[in-house]
Amino acid sequence: MWKNFPLFPERASALAWQVDGLYFLLIAVSAFFTLLIFAAIFFFAVKYRRSVHPQAVQIEGSLPLELAWTLIPLGICMIFFAWGSLIYFQEARPPKDAMEVYVVAKQWMWKFEYEDGQRDINQLHVPVGRDVKMIMSSQDAIHSFFVPAFRIKADVLPGRFTTTWFRPTKVGTYHLFCSQYCGTNHSAMIGQVIVMDPAAYQAWMSGGAGSSSGSLAANGQQLFQQLGCATCHRSDTQGRGPNLVGLFGKPVLLDDGRTVIADENYIRESILNPGAKIISGFKPIMPTFQGQVSEENLMALVAYVKSLAQTQPKGEAGDGSSVPNTSKLQ
Amino acid sequence: MATAVQTVERENYLNSNYGIKSWLLTTDHKRIAVLYLISITAMFWLGGFFAMMIRLELLTPAGDLVSSDTYNKLFTMHGIIMVFFFLIPSVPAVIGNFLVPLMVGAKDLAFPRVNLLSWYLYMAGAITALVAMVTGGVDTGWTFYTPFSTTYSNTHVIGAAIGIFIAGFSSILTGLNFIVTIHRMRAPGMTWRRLPLFCWSNYAAAIIMVLGTPVIAITLLLVALERAFHIGVFNPQLGGDPLLFQHLFWFYSHPAVYIMILPGMGVISEIVACFSRKRVFGYEFVALASIAIAVLGFLVWAHHMFVAGISVYAALVFSLLSYLVAIPSAVKVFNWTATMYKGSISYNTPMLYAFGFIGLFTVGGLTGIFLSSLGLDVHVHDTYFVIAHFHYVMVGGMVMAYMAGLHFWWPKMTGKMYPEAWAKLSALLVFVGFNTTFFPLFILGYMGSPRRYHAYPPEFQVLNVLSTAGASILAVGYVLPMIYFVWSLRYGKDAGPNPWNATGLEWMTSSPPPTHNFDETPVVTWEAYDYEHQPQEEITVGH
Amino acid sequence: MATSDMGDIQVAERALQHHFADMEQQRDTASFGMWMFLLTEIMFFGGLFCAYLVYRASYYHAFVEGSQKMNITLGATNTAVLICSSLTMALGVRAAQMGKPKLMVILLLVTILFGFGFLGIKAVEYHEHWVNHEFPGPSFHFETGDPAHPATDPQHTEIYFSLYWAMTGLHALHMVIGIGLVAWLVIAGLMGAYTPHYYNPVENVGLYWHFVDLVWIYLFPMLYLISKKHGG
């Protein structure tokens, strides 16, 4: 639009067009009804002003009119409800092969951890055209991950993972804002999302811009040994705890009859509050690790358990090929 | 046909008793309304001062006027004061207290001493909150989200929470009084279908006050306990759930916005009827719409939590219900507009404010539709779009309705007319100033400008400057009535019992009314808004 | 009889407030007001009940362990005490209705006695919990010890106790207010304020008292009787 008076942010994700479309439809319909009311009031106020229309005509009401202006707006609203919900469904379902970035939010910065172990502070590098899933948690208060150019937002909670995803469609640098008030420097908790074309992204990744202390999953494997998890969670049937190979993402039957999906939050809860969900057939003897693992370590452990679900065992990190399904990079 | 009571210089509720004790120990609902008027006006100006500071800071992208912590306290205190100490009590406690007994033909509210207690609780709550603000402030936002408010904030959260807690009981008792009064104290012949729509609206708002406010009371109590004793109810580090806080908080705070707007809608119904000389179109529908808003308003709270981590299915349900709650409000707007059709319209100040209300509430309400739409809300949640939306309904809607009501019933309350020309000018300034302040915020919000930001990226500056300019105009629009209302007490024209030739029992007694309201209990034999049989003389004072 | 009836009517007339048309309107209104107020009290306690339900569902085993520290004997005794107090309260209202002010005063005094009894037993329980470090905050200490559920987090049991103290504390506060109200009735009653033609306050305070009793009848099983297993 007008360069100096923009009315909406750049559209840099696949979703942005849909959200803007809905927005413009809403503006059109709202403008219509607003002008209708304004015009009606203006027209009646002038046409029936006291000096030309001294005697009011008493009209009780009109049932057909009441029904009309109840049901028609309701019908129009249902269109908005449907379209808005469809967009929301998309936002709630990250594609299965999205690349994953783990995010720890804390007062007042964003810490990004890529699967290959690289880390970023306040800057997120992503390749254009690739689905990116953010798995986030907070170390302290509630924050919110907001990228206006992508039209996405998700609160980042302490004690839980929340996720969001996007597919950037345009190379460029975009604002990242924290949009849940979190204290003194809430307005300074901003950053950039840098969308790069695939070649530049590859170059950045191999440049080792972050630390190269091993991939996230490899770190998680180390922790798994250090914390003694491997003692009970063996990869055979002899363990006192469930075998974690191939567990992630599958439904599990609990001892109280419920079935839940073993997602990121399930793994997290099982580490911090193991008594909450016990897999059927196992005893509730796992101790809690509350207070013994940081957010980053939790993410590493989750990444490790996830990696056990791959059909082929993953190698150590370094070249970025631990990111599955590289065909989407083009 | 209704007969007006002619009065000349007789004893009324203002001059029946002198001395501060007669005011501070009064049980007369009209005097209590005046006490509220004074305290609420003071709180409005304090909240407005904080708003002015916010807008001044936002003139420049950098946070250069005040420190971050101070800014965070400014917007928190602006919100707390405006929501809990101005908007929620304003129309019910000032206009409702004064008029509900008069409108139903009663001598007073059902529980006059409880009414006085309400005012004292309001004052105690306000003073407690003010002490918290003056001795260091609060910086959690008026929404007190945990765990920031319970664990990480270093400000007087407990003091502010207790102040709101106490004021909440003021609200509960006012609501209780209204409900019982409307049920039990109506004059003979005043059936439910003859009640003025102002009573229907206040009744609906009172239901919300009574059922919703206790929930925020206990929620804030839990926040205070958690802060004091680290009990862990809302803090995940101690096993608590921050989303539980949000559910409990919004369970009240969403219906609270209907507490704020419903009485204002009642004012508009009265004014549109009077200045169109017509019964409100679709009276039964408007009355039932008020009840529908109150009921549906309790079912939509989690639309404040669409990105907070609730399940997709919960979000769907709340989105759908949020659309439903918009419909009765739309019905009211259409009915008011239709009332003007073939009416006999005059442009007195109350009617000008009513025009403004209908237009601006329509915009505000429609932008609520934007927010109910899940996919769109994800983008605009916690941005200036939301701020623009609620200021349109609260300031463009509710405050305009409050001003409309003050102007309409000022002659009844004080026996004096305000100066019409100045009043019209103020209404115009408010309309222009308001739109200049808040319309740019819709655009800012969609651009991605987050709320509660002390500093912002430079590309957002132009719209912010425009907004601040509008705020100065708006401020003038509010200062003028302060001056001319006070001026009118001494120099205004005498009003007479019914300067507007309006229907309604309140206009059938003198201005100001006597302490006991009516010399004889009225017996109602006519329908509401019986403008057909109301004398159609020119309004002789003001025009 | 006619004279005392006349006297009763005079008392009632004096009690008629100026804004009511007649005593019947005043009685209906006052009663309605009290019912509305009790409705707000339901919503007030409701928030705590909601928090309780959420956490009991999430941390069931921790709640079981916490509840096993409750003294069921004392809790049950308190329940009986409150039920008896409601009986004497109701009989007191009846006595007022029947024009027997002396009997009313006696019954209300017994109600107050029961009320104090409740509070006394509660104080004993509170002391017990305090001494065992079962008060939330820095001094809280709880050894979860169910061998079947070794992973029960003491922090979750602390939440149970937080809700225990908050809910019973709020209830106890309402009891204290109730006792105050009944005491006021006793004093007014001794001064002859209540007659068969005017006993609204007695009736309405009775409603309040029964409500507070009812809240306890919910609290007792919710807090004390969560699971059949019980250590004592």
**Residue at B18 is within a domain:** no
With CB atoms and an 8 Å threshold, state whether B184 touches C29. yes
Banded pLDDT at A285 (limits 50, 70, 90): confident
CA distance B161 to B219: 9
User: Which residues in C lie closer than 8 A to residue B243 (C-beta atoms)?
Assistant: none
Name residues 131-190 of chain A within 8 A of B (Cβ). 140-142, 144, 146, 148-149, 151-155, 157-160, 162, 175, 177-188, 190
Model confidence over A142-188: pLDDT tens digits? 999 999 999 999 999 999 999 999 999 999 999 999 999 999 999 99
Query: What length does chain C have?
Result: 232
**Within a domain: residue B3?**
no
Q: Can you list the pairs that A240-244 forms with residues at least 24 positions away whose Cβ atoms lie under 8 Å?
A: A240/A282, A240/A283, A240/A285, A241/A282, A241/A286, A242/A279, A242/A282, A244/A305, A244/A308
B293: distance to nearest CA of chain A, Å? 14
CA angle B354, B359, B360 (to 5 degrees): 95
C51-90 residues touching B, CB cutoff 8 A: 51, 54-55, 58-59
Q: Note whether residue B399 is domain-resident.
A: yes
Domain count, chain B: 1
Task: Please compute the mean of the pLDDT values over residues B477-501 and round it to a whole number.
Answer: 95
Q: What pLDDT does residue B89 have? A: 95
Cβ–Cβ below 8 Å for B378 and A185: no
β-bridge pairing A251-253 and A152-156 = unpaired
ipTM above 0.95, yes or no: no
Please, what is the average pLDDT of chain B? 94
Whether the per-residue pLDDT at A326 is higher than 50: the answer is no
d(CA C77, CA C214): 15
pLDDT at B475 over 80: yes
> Is B309 part of a structural domain of the chain?
yes
Nearest to B179 among C36, C54, C156 (CB): C36
Instruction: Tell how strand A152-156 and strand A119-121 pair up.
Output: unpaired
Segment B76-117, tens digit of pLDDT:
999 999 999 999 999 999 999 999 999 999 999 999 999 999
Is residue C107 within 8 Å of C95, Cβ to Cβ?
Answer: yes
Higher pLDDT, B239 or A138: A138
pLDDT at A324 over 60: no
Interfacial A residues in 3-22 facing B (CB < 8 Å):
4-9, 18-19, 22
Q: Which domains does chain C have, with CATH numbers?
A: 38-224 (1.20.120.80)
* Mean pLDDT along residues A8-29: 94
Mean pLDDT over A28-55 rounds to 94
pLDDT at res. B4: 54
Tell me if A288 and C153 make a contact (CB, 8 A cut-off): yes
* Minimum distance, in Å, between the CA of residue B277 and any CA atom of chain C: 32
What pLDDT score does A216 carry?
A: 87
In a domain, B16, yes or no: no
DSSP assignment of B410-431 equals: HHHHHSBPPPHHHHHHHHHHHH
pLDDT given for residue A128 in this prediction: 95
Residue given tokens 């639009």 in the structure block: A1
B348-385 pLDDT, tens per residue? 999 999 999 999 999 999 999 999 999 999 999 999 99
Please answer yes or no on whether A183 and B152 come within 8 Å at the CB atom: yes
Give residue-wise pLDDT tens across range C91-102.
999 999 999 999
Query: Which of A17, A66, A150, A290 is the best substitution to test chain B (most B C-beta atoms within 10 A)?
Result: A66
Q: Is residue B286 included in any domain, yes or no?
A: yes
- Contact assignment for C152 to A275 by CB distance below 8 Å: yes
Chains contacting A (3 or more CB pairs within 8 Å): B, C
Band of pLDDT at residue C2, cut at 50, 70 and 90: low
CATH at B197:
1.20.210.10
Contacts of A286 in chain C (CB under 8 A): 151
Q: Is the whole model's pTM more than 0.80, yes or no?
A: yes
Distance from CA of A139 to the nearest CA of C (A): 18
Q: Are C37 and B176 an interchain contact pair (Cβ–Cβ within 8 Å)?
A: yes
Contact list, A285 vs chain C (CB under 8 Å): 150-151
C-contacting chains (≥3 CB pairs under 8 Å): A, B
Domain of residue B464 covers: 26-533
The nearest CA of chain A is from the CA of C151 a distance in Å of 5
**A13 near A152, Cβ under 8 Å?**
yes
Residues of chain B with pLDDT > 70, as a percent, come to 97
- Residue A291: the pLDDT is 82
Instruction: State the pLDDT at residue B127.
Output: 97
Which residues in chain C have Cβ-Cβ distances shorter than 8 Å to B188? none
Q: Is residue B272 part of a domain?
A: yes
The dihedral sign for the CA sequence B131, B85, B352, B56: positive
**Residue B239 is nearest to which of C37, C45, C159, comparing CB atoms?**
C159
Q: Does residue B14 form part of some domain?
A: no
How much is the pLDDT for B278? 93
